[in-house]
Amino acid sequence: MLYLCATPIGNLEDMTFRAIKILREVNLIAAEDTRRTRKLLTHFDIHTPLIRFDENCKAVVAEKILQRLQAGESVAVVSDAGLPAISDPGANLVRLAIDVGINVCPIPGANAALSALICSGLDTTKFLFAGFPPKSKKNRREFLEKLSTIEATIIFYEAPHRLKNFLAELAEIFGEREIVLARELTKIHEEFLRGKISELLEKLDEPRGEFVVVVEGKKFSEPSLPEENISEVYEKLLAAGLDKKSAMREAAKKFNVSRREIYNSLLGSSN
Ligand code: SAM
């Protein structure tokens, strides 16, 4: 059996009884950072052998783990925090294990994305986990453009030093929306910052700690856009001297929609 075992995202009391039991019983624990996991295991009096399993060594170690699983041993995968395979190593190993007929078993527990979502006050009936935005500006903009039309709450992870820049791009591409910044979940300085994207951008000074960004989805009942108005506004912006790209960006801001929607609407009105 391959166990995917959750560990706390801050508060050690979020470790489950079952996680402790399974981590004691398995033959091997595959951990993203063995030093960090060793501390957790010591705290819970767990003495199972550990093997390093991170992005750099995952191909070689996955092979070793599979061999042991096929020999009848049991292995648990843990990440530094939360659920393995969620913006953390593990997913690939699960695929490989399934392909060779090994059973996989979840040991559920803490997860930053869902903890943020349930306290966000935003729609929890439909949501999309988008993970970390791409680091390259071009890829990030394309990624956000695609997400901007989704009618479901969207959840991102982002590092504190990239947060302000990310929020500025989000405001530009998504238009004004409600967001919730869930900071330092389950830790002493846990807080939820709620408001419009631009309001939170103003409030944030130097973001510190770990953040989940939860963003309101595109409104389900939004009326279809009046195409003449969009093209009128667009034409006026061109006449005022803006190039096509800037005119589309300004029109998108004005109508509080994505650039892609402006583009589609202009295509529609020119047919
Ligand atoms: N596997 C983890 C999970 O299940 O939540 C996520 C790991 S990912 C590498 C780390 C990111 O998760 C952080 O950059 C942050 O965005 C988010 N995160 C993890 N712990 C958090 C916490 N206590 N409070 C807020 N965000 C957290």
Show me where the domains of the chain are located.
Answer: 2-110, 113-215, 227-270
Q: Classify strands 50-52 and 75-78 as parallel, antiparallel or unpaired.
A: unpaired
Q: 178: which residues sit within 8 A by CB, 6+ positions away?
A: 122, 194, 195, 196, 215, 216
Q: How far is the CA of 160 from the centre of ligand 1 (A)?
A: 11
7: DSSP letter: B
List, for residues 81-96, the tens digit of each pLDDT value.
999 999 999 999 999 9
Q: How far is the CA of 146 from the centre of ligand 1 (A)?
A: 23
- Round to whole Å and give the CA distance between 68 and 96: 13
The two structure tokens encoding residue 84? 């393995």
Cβ of 214 closer than 6 Å to ligand 1, yes or no, is no
Among 213, 208, 190, 79, smallest CA distance to 133 is for 213
Cβ of 117 closer than 6 Å to ligand 1, yes or no, is no
Least confident of 25-29, 87-91, 119-123: 87-91
pLDDT at 251 (0 to 100):
86
Q: 171: which residues sit within 8 A by CB, 6+ positions away?
A: 197, 198, 201
For ligand 1, atom 19, name the residue with the nearest CA.
112
Residue 110: pLDDT band with limits 50, 70, 90: very high
Q: How far is the CA of 61 from the centre of ligand 1 (A)?
A: 24
3: DSSP letter: E
Cβ of 7 closer than 6 Å to ligand 1, yes or no, is no
The two structure tokens encoding residue 136? 């390259």
Atom nearest to 157 CA in ligand 1 = 16
- Round to whole Å and give the CA distance between 259 and 233: 14
Under 8 Å between Cβ of 31 and 50 = yes
The two structure tokens encoding residue 164? 């302000």
Residue 58: pLDDT band with limits 50, 70, 90: confident
- The whole-model pTM stands at 0.84
Mean pLDDT of 8-17: 98
Of the two residues 87 and 229, the one the predictor is more confident about is 87
Among 258, 248, 268, smallest CA distance to 142 is for 258
Mean pLDDT of 244-268: 84
Question: How many whole angstroms from its chain centre is CA 257?
Answer: 22
Of the two residues 240 and 47, the one the predictor is more confident about is 47
Under 8 Å between Cβ of 61 and 69 = no
Mean pLDDT of 53-77: 91
Atom nearest to 186 CA in ligand 1 = 23
Mean pLDDT of 142-161: 96
- Round to whole Å and give the CA distance between 216 and 225: 20
Cβ of 81 closer than 6 Å to ligand 1, yes or no, is yes
Under 8 Å between Cβ of 230 and 251 = yes
- Round to whole Å and give the CA distance between 175 and 156: 17
Mean pLDDT of 47-56: 91
CATH 3.30.950.10 fits 113-215, yes or no: yes
What average pLDDT does the chain have? 93
Q: How far is the CA of 132 from the centre of ligand 1 (A)?
A: 10
Given 3.40.50.300, 3.40.50.720, 3.40.1010.10, 1.10.390.10, which CATH number is that of 2-110? 3.40.1010.10
